[in-house]
Amino acid sequence: FQMARQHDPNAKLFYNDYDILAANGWNRQKQDYVFTLMNWLLDHGAPVDGLGMQGHFGAVTQIDTMQQIIERFSQLRVPFNLTEFDFNTADETLQADFTRDFVTLMFSTPRCTDFLMWGFWERAHWLPLGAMYRADWSSKPNALVWNELLFHEWWTNESGATNREGQFIVRAFKGKQRVTVCYAHECREAIAQVNDDNAVTLTVSDGKRAIRSLL
């Protein structure tokens, strides 16, 4: 980690490991090892920015078991990412249900900052049954679940008029948001990064008044 930091001071450095969440959380020894190792690295000043938990599943890990593991690792001083997610099963209904529940759990966990799929197309996937799209590019049920969550349920799509103070305030999901403010015949647009606690202000003026859009 020290060598990596020397070569790239701006890189985010994560320790990535497997068998933390898989197989219904049976490998408690591995969980203890990774938890202890992360604390040891941080105690000794290693420039570790977070933990990567690989997410390869061949069977269901119960969500309540998963939540207990996640709550434990949320106690670390650094965030964690879910890396390399796939669920290798021929049962497409089970695959979709587990994907929905698992992604929802991770999305609702503040310490989980990123979620990485380990492939999506059957013909280019290391485990073809784990893909979201079949060889002919038709969507499997898990792809439909994924798209519904990410592009509908958790997608900020709000519009409205400003109040008397010229403000329109909306609660937005974290991430990049496209904000457009229009007044009369003038519109302005910006890409805003929404984090835990920030406001983005766009001002459109016709020389007499200003309109502000706040996230």
| Token output for 87 | 């669920």
SS3 at position 136? coil
| pLDDT given at position 204 | 57
- What beta strand segments (E) does the chain contain? 14-17, 50-57, 80-87, 112-117, 167-169, 175-183, 186-194, 201-205, 210-214
Q: How far apart are CA 98 and CA 81, in angstroms?
A: 18
114 neighbors 157 (Cβ within 8 angstroms): no
Exposed, middle or buried by CB within 10 Å (0-12, 13-18, 19+), for 80? buried
- In the chain, where are the structural domains located? 2-153, 167-214
What string of DSSP letters covers 69-108?
HHHHHTTSSS-EEEEEEEE--S-HHHHHHHHHHHHHHHHT
State how far Cα 15 lies from the chain centre.
17
Which positions ≥6 away from 32 have C-beta within 8 Å? none
| Token output for 29 | 């020894």
CA angle 23, 27, 33 (to 5 degrees): 140
61 neighbors 21 (Cβ within 8 angstroms): yes
Residue 215: pLDDT band (50, 70, 90) is low
Cα–Cα nearest to 86, from 137, 111, 122: 122
Query: pLDDT by residue (tens digit) across 99-142?
Result: 999 999 999 999 999 999 999 999 999 999 999 999 999 999 99
Looking at domain 2-153, does it have CATH number 3.30.1330.200? no
Which positions ≥6 away from 80 have C-beta within 8 Å? 50, 51, 52, 53, 73, 74, 111, 112, 113
| pLDDT given at position 181 | 82
Query: pLDDT by residue (tens digit) across 163-213?
Result: 887 778 888 888 888 888 887 777 878 788 887 766 666 665 555 555 555
| Neighbouring-strand partners of residue 97 | none
Share of the chain above pLDDT 90, in %: 72
Provide the whole-model pTM: 0.85
